[in-house]
Amino acid sequence: MDKNYYLEDAQELHQKYPRTFDIPTEEEIEALQVNDLVKLIFCFPEQLENGCRAERMWVCITEITEDGFCGELDNQPYYLKDLKAGDRITFQKKHIAAIFVKETNGLDESKFALITKRALEHREVNWAMHTDDLCDEQDSGWTLCYGGEDDAYWENTDNTKVISLEEALSLEPLLYEVFTGEAAVYYYDAKQNRFIAEEA
């Protein structure tokens, strides 16, 4: 069966947009090991009506070969219905857009966060805000959004969804530094490929 996606050449994108599209170094890629997470860009054959042209998803490396890598999809796709978490993915160095190494931590991933549907639709979190005004003991206090959600958007409760921190980390593992940090607001910096604490 033909695939309903193709993997973006991240190295080619970096050559076109070196200031705004950063990728791991050759040394970082060579140091990859089994169980490391890498982000790949799964492109659609055609751009969707909402302007989305790809899903950025994490793949857990299961095998490293002379020809490249094999791994298991670590996300549940939002748009690509023929793919599901756990599916086998084969790829090469040029497809790796980012690297994240899973860590053992004491974070209670069963707690909940609020996320906007816009972030879910784009499979991308760019802002994270924390409050100490919690609803109950399962409330982490975190709100995650894509960016650009105005007051009218927030007033409509249908535009948000409650997910576990485990689900949030599956969507974006880089949020680990956010959930274990001390700042109240973080934003994603594409050049550094990490979340940065916003100064008060």
pLDDT digits (tens, 9 = 90+) for 113-137: 999 999 998 889 999 999 999 988 8
In-domain check, residue 124:
yes
Local confidence band at 76 (pLDDT 50, 70, 90 cut-offs)? confident
Q: Is the dihedral of CA 43, 194, 163, 150 positive or negative?
A: negative
Residues 162 and 94 in one domain: no
| End position of a domain, from candidates 65, 100, 135 | 100
- Which residue range forms the structural domain that includes residue 171? 112-197
Tell whether the model's pLDDT for residue 28 goes beyond 70: yes
Residue 1 confidence (pLDDT): 37
122 and 88 together in one domain: no
Residues 73 and 143 grouped into a single domain: no
Q: Could you tell me if residue 118 is inside a domain?
A: yes
Same domain for 96 and 142, yes or no, is no
Does residue 187 have a pLDDT over 50? yes
CA distance 74 to 58: 5
Residues 83, 17 share a domain: yes
CA 170/CA 148 separation, integer angstroms: 23
**Number of domains, the chain:** 2
- 133 and 153 fall within a common domain: yes
The predicted pLDDT at position 179 comes to 94
For residues 113 and 75, what is the distance between their CA atoms, to the nearest angstrom?
A: 17
The stretch 36-56 carries a mean pLDDT of 89
Q: Which of 48, 76, 100 is the last residue of a domain?
A: 100
27-36, 58-67, 147-156, 170-179: least confidently modelled range = 170-179
| 88: pLDDT strictly greater than 90 | yes
Most confident of the following: 46-50, 80-84, 150-154: 150-154
Residue 181 lies in a domain: yes
- Written as six digits, the tokens of 123 are 């499979």
Q: Are residues 94 and 122 in the same domain?
A: no
Query: Do 149 and 67 have their domain in common?
Result: no
Cβ-Cβ contacts under 8 Å for 30 (sequence gap 6 or more)? none
Classify residue 1: in a domain, yes or no: no
Whether residue 135 lies inside any domain: the answer is yes
CA–CA dist 178, 106 (Å, integer): 14
pLDDT on residue 48: 83
